[in-house]
Chain A
Amino acid sequence: MSSLILPGRQRGVRERLAQLHWPLIILLTMIAGVGVITLYSVAEGNWRPWSMRHGLRYLIALSVLIVIGMVAIRHWMALSYPIYFAALLALAATPFIGEVNMGARRWIEFGGMQFQPSEAMKIGLVMALARYYHGLRAEQVSHILYLIPPALMIGAPVGLVFIQPDLGTALLLAATGIIIVFVAGLSWRIGMIGVASAVAAGYSAYRFEFLKTYQVERILTFLNPDRDPLGQGYHLLQSKIALGSGGLDGKGFMNGTQSQLKFLPEMQTDFIFTIFGEEFGFVGAVGLLILYLAVILTGLSIAMSAKSHFARLAVIGVVATFALYVLINTGMVMGLAPVVGVPLPLVSYGGTVMLTIMAGFGLVMSAHVHRDQDVLRSSDLL
């Protein structure tokens, strides 16, 4: 694999460290800090079992981010397809060698560590799509033939994740992919047709029972939370009670009665926003949302200032994944979206997701540090 590189200035490590987007790092750290204190509260004032490890994991993930950020963006572009295909292979292998956890095969053992191929795919897909569109001219983007590769690139991992089954991640991957295709310049007309067929597919999936019972349950519960107060809707109702009773300024740190009395399930992961919102109220919750939005807008501004098309699209893909996480999770705990088990990035407890997010922001960082580098490629590379 050979790339033609337009010479940018080669810079030393120290110089590149200085060029890191520190405000972005501070924002991310603040969000992770919210995770640390909330997990401390969830454990009723204990660093164990979650809070301390969350903080440590963040530090590790942050160093991963910085390392990735200091590697030139062209190298990441060169690695796009290999990473994508490796992740796809791992995904395909998961049903055979994966661990069954809560009724789904999602994890595989890898050198003594648990590893979720679907997480790696979140980065892999973003990179591969960015890489693909990097090589297309504007007029090619909406050409139907040139839509086939991205459709396969998105469809294959989405299908594999869906049969695991992990509806939440499958939807997230599909949405991220579609956003990249859209931002890359897909014509509105084709977009509309796509939306229409997605709706049709969703309907037939329901109609012909492609979804597992619990997935159907979750969606139906979302549509009518009162239909099963002891099951799914019960959690949603408890979440709303906890949030709502937080009021303007919250019940105070460690005083979230609803959470502390275990009315909520999975408080350390899916429902952590609820706990934070209960203890810190509207002010705290909106503050956290502002932090998230600041990260997203910072990311988008980085995308806009990057010279290479790959960098732009990859950054937007990462930001889109991040934004979807936040919107789906917060929407979910407030009854705006189905309970699909999507964590709140950097706040929910969970190493793999944190690593994925931070690795993704590593790409964003790389795009920022190397924003003046444009990357040319020979068309035979495709």
Chain B
Amino acid sequence: MPVINTHDPERQEIVSRRTFLFGGSVSLLFVGVAGRLYQLQIADFDKYKDLAQDNQFNRRVLTPLRGEIIDRFGNALASNRKNFRILLVPEQSRDIDATLDKISKYIPVTDEKRARIIREIRRRGAFTPVEIKNNLSWSDFSRVNFELPHLAGVLPDVGETRDYPLSEASAFVIGYVGPVTDRDLAAQEDNDDRTLLRQPGFKVGRDGLERTYEKELRGQAGKMNVKINAHGRVIEELTDEATPPVQGKTLTLTIDAELQQAAMKELEGESAAAVVMDTVTGDILVLASTPAFNPNDFNIGIDAKIWKELTESPYKPLLNKPLSGVYPPGSTFKVISAIAAQAAGVKPSQTAHCRGKIWYGNRFFHCWKRGGHGTVDMKGAIKHSCDIYFYEIAKKLEVDVLADAARKFGLGQTYELGVPGQKKGIVPDREWKRQYFAGQPENQPWFQGETLSVIIGQGYVTSTPLQLCVMAARIASGRAVRPRLVRAVGDLVLPEPTSPLIDVDHDYLNVVRAGMNAVTNEYGTAARSRLEDPNWQLAGKTGTSQVYRITAEDRAKGLAKPEDLPWERRDHALFVCYMPYENPRYACSVVIEHGIGGARAAGPKAREIMRAVAAKDPASRQPIDPRNLVQRATAKREG
């Protein structure tokens, strides 16, 4: 048999080459491992250091109480109440499904709810307790407590939840709180804030003042570090370094809860808005919108059925109508028109003869009164809301003069109230039209016929109920009153604003005021809305803004009266007013969607609201000092 010489140079050479290759590959892989080490230990060190801290020290966050929101007299609009709830610490429960099965023997856990819980656990990680159920009755709560030894990972807890005692009545002013979303977490710059937001059942402001003043209302989390091991067992409580939580600041509003509720009741059944403000301070006493949602429903996670009803209702219960509802002002705008006319040189004594319609351009413009008003001067035109009088003025009136007056008296702008979603409305002028029709040059020039529409509050011009109330307040006071909703944040009382006089000849205003007085007190369009009390003479202006124009065809079908139209095509009813006529103090606006006529639908509501306002004067002029309130609370705690 041949003997193989193992000195096979070819074989040896291959092995040497391959060994080098192998050694090189292994070395490269080691470099890779070292690179990974670099990434973990050097590049991402900060991240893992934080994670390790979180692991080792369970920062027991002591959740602060949310700041209260109170009305001008200290009545609670948003407060906190006890909430019995059941939490689950995923990490301490070996089998989450089994635990949930057991729990559902005592308190029902729907499949939907279960899916939500599992999602939460995924999102928040194993160490953060997740809410299984809140707002438990005492008997359910104690039953779960009794069974606790058999429920690994289940943690009973007495938390706090937001409570809105006025429910619907305060919905749009206060807004509501809701569960924390991923976006909220991402928006937090501070790590501690993030931890606080991760607390089970923690809520943040979702809308209204709750949202705008989230930072002030949230308060400061207390902290207590506990050292834990991997099983979540507390090894040591580090009480020396513990800091107690600080309740959020109290928000004191200008709202009068009692009047707010009265106004809501007055508007019940309508899709409507009402605003009442102090013409001197700008304090908003009432900001009512009907129908409204119940913010307490949102607080505990809104039911799908309720949500569907809210979103699908034609009465738009989710729309904050006083601030976000936009309506043509209709004839209420004539107070502006009268001022603009005088500014353009029209004498209030100048008359026009109303025959019910005039021809202008290529069509007839009708007065609301088919038979005509006969000869009217400016005061009479306001009193009877004569359209022809203003059409005659509009033929020669520059629209920019009209727009200027509208802006001076508060239209076309938003106000710093702290409630999101405020609309600006439109005050049309030449420049506005140019920009609005930027793509259609043929539509850009202003046509005088359009001024005829705008001067009676139709056409392009739109406004919100808040703006209309501001308008009434400015007519009444002659000052550029700005509305405000928040009187104090914590013990910082915001200074009462002093409003500058409006830059117009105040004789013009007197004509308008006299006209408005005549509307209610001299058998004008809103004679029915007169207040009998001689100390509280109400001066107002009606408005009816067209939603649908009844055509000749409709008339042929016998559709003559607005009541014949379906609800959503009926005209809006508006009313603006202030009182007392001499030495005014309060202004009010009411808009009833599709209420048909300002005089018959909106006026009486405004009158009743103003009656309630008058009844509370002069107490309304002396709101509480929130600083005293804070001291009182402190004294109580110390005592």
Q: Tell me if A297 counts as interface (CB < 8 A to partner B).
A: yes
Among the 9-residue stretches A45-53, A121-129, A147-155, A304-312, the one with 4 or more Cβ atoms under 8 Å from chain B is A304-312
Contacts of B6 in A (CB 8 A): 134, 308-309, 374-377
Count of chain B residues with a beta carbon within 8 Å of a chain A beta carbon: 50
Contact with A along B224-236 (1 / 0, CB 8 A): 0000111100010
Q: List 29 A-B contacts (CB under 8 A).
A: A137-B8, A138-B11, A141-B14, A240-B40, A240-B48, A241-B51, A242-B52, A243-B40, A244-B40, A244-B45, A244-B48, A258-B52, A258-B56, A263-B55, A277-B37, A282-B38, A285-B37, A285-B41, A289-B33, A289-B37, A293-B26, A300-B19, A300-B23, A308-B6, A309-B8, A313-B15, A376-B3, A377-B6, A378-B3
From B2, B48, B229, give the contact of A261 (CB < 8 A).
Answer: B229
Q: Are B36 and A336 within 8 A (Cβ)? A: yes
CA distance A313 to B6 in the complex (A): 13
Contacts of B26 in A (CB 8 A): 293, 296, 323, 327
CA distance A297 to B30 in the complex (A): 12
Q: Tell me if A234 counts as interface (CB < 8 A to partner B).
A: yes
Contacts of B42 in A (CB 8 A): 247-248, 282
Q: Are A245 and B18 within 8 A (Cβ)? A: no
CA distance A255 to B246 in the complex (A): 35
Q: Are B11 and A309 within 8 A (Cβ)? A: yes
| Number of interchain pairs (Cβ within 8 Å) | 165
**If the complex has contacts A134-B6, A308-B6, A334-B40, are A244 and B49 also in contact, measured as CB distance less than 8 A?**
yes
Contact with A along B468-481 (1 / 0, CB 8 A): 00000000000000
Chain B, Cβ-Cβ closest to A247 = B45
Contacts of B11 in A (CB 8 A): 136-138, 141, 185, 309
Q: Are A334 and B51 within 8 A (Cβ)? A: no
CA distance A241 to B18 in the complex (A): 38
Q: Are B52 and A183 within 8 A (Cβ)? A: no
Contacts of A282 in B (CB 8 A): 37-38, 41-42
Q: Are B15 and A184 within 8 A (Cβ)? A: yes
Q: Tell me if B375 counts as interface (CB < 8 A to partner A).
A: no
Sorted from nearest, which 4 A-B pairs have the closest CB atoms? A244-B48, A245-B52, A185-B14, A282-B41
Q: Are B30 and A262 within 8 A (Cβ)? A: no
Nearest chain A CB to B321 CB, angstrom units: 46
Main secondary structure of the interface of A (DSSP, over half): helix
Q: Are B4 and A244 within 8 A (Cβ)? A: no
Q: Are B33 and A297 within 8 A (Cβ)? A: no
From B38, B44, B126, give the contact of A229 (CB < 8 A).
Answer: B126
**Known contacts A234-B126, A245-B48; can you find 15 more A-B pairs with CB under 8 A?**
A182-B18, A230-B91, A247-B42, A262-B230, A282-B37, A285-B41, A300-B23, A304-B16, A309-B8, A309-B15, A316-B22, A334-B40, A376-B4, A378-B3, A379-B4
From A185, A243, A262, A312, give the contact of B48 (CB < 8 A).
Answer: A243
Q: Are B33 and A244 within 8 A (Cβ)? A: no
Contact with A along B44-62 (1 / 0, CB 8 A): 1101110110011000000
Q: Tell me if B29 counts as interface (CB < 8 A to partner A).
A: yes
From B22, B122, B125, give the contact of A320 (CB < 8 A).
Answer: B22
Q: Tell me if A223 counts as interface (CB < 8 A to partner B).
A: no
**If the complex has contacts A138-B14, A229-B126, A308-B6, are A331 and B37 also in contact, measured as CB distance less than 8 A?**
no
- Chain A CB count within 10 A is highest, among B16, B19, B49, B228, for B19
Contacts of A331 in B (CB 8 A): 33, 36
Nearest chain B CB to A228 CB, angstrom units: 10
- Chain A CB count within 10 A is highest, among B4, B11, B36, for B11
CA distance A52 to B226 in the complex (A): 34
From A244, A246, A303, A307, give the contact of B51 (CB < 8 A).
Answer: A244
Q: Tell me if B12 counts as interface (CB < 8 A to partner A).
A: yes
CA distance A296 to B56 in the complex (A): 38
Contacts of B19 in A (CB 8 A): 183, 300, 303-304, 312, 316
CA distance A281 to B3 in the complex (A): 56
- Chain A CB count within 10 A is highest, among B40, B45, B51, B56, for B40
CA distance A277 to B37 in the complex (A): 9
Q: Tell me if B27 counts as interface (CB < 8 A to partner A).
A: yes
Q: Are A286 and B34 within 8 A (Cβ)? A: yes
Nearest chain B CB to A308 CB, angstrom units: 6
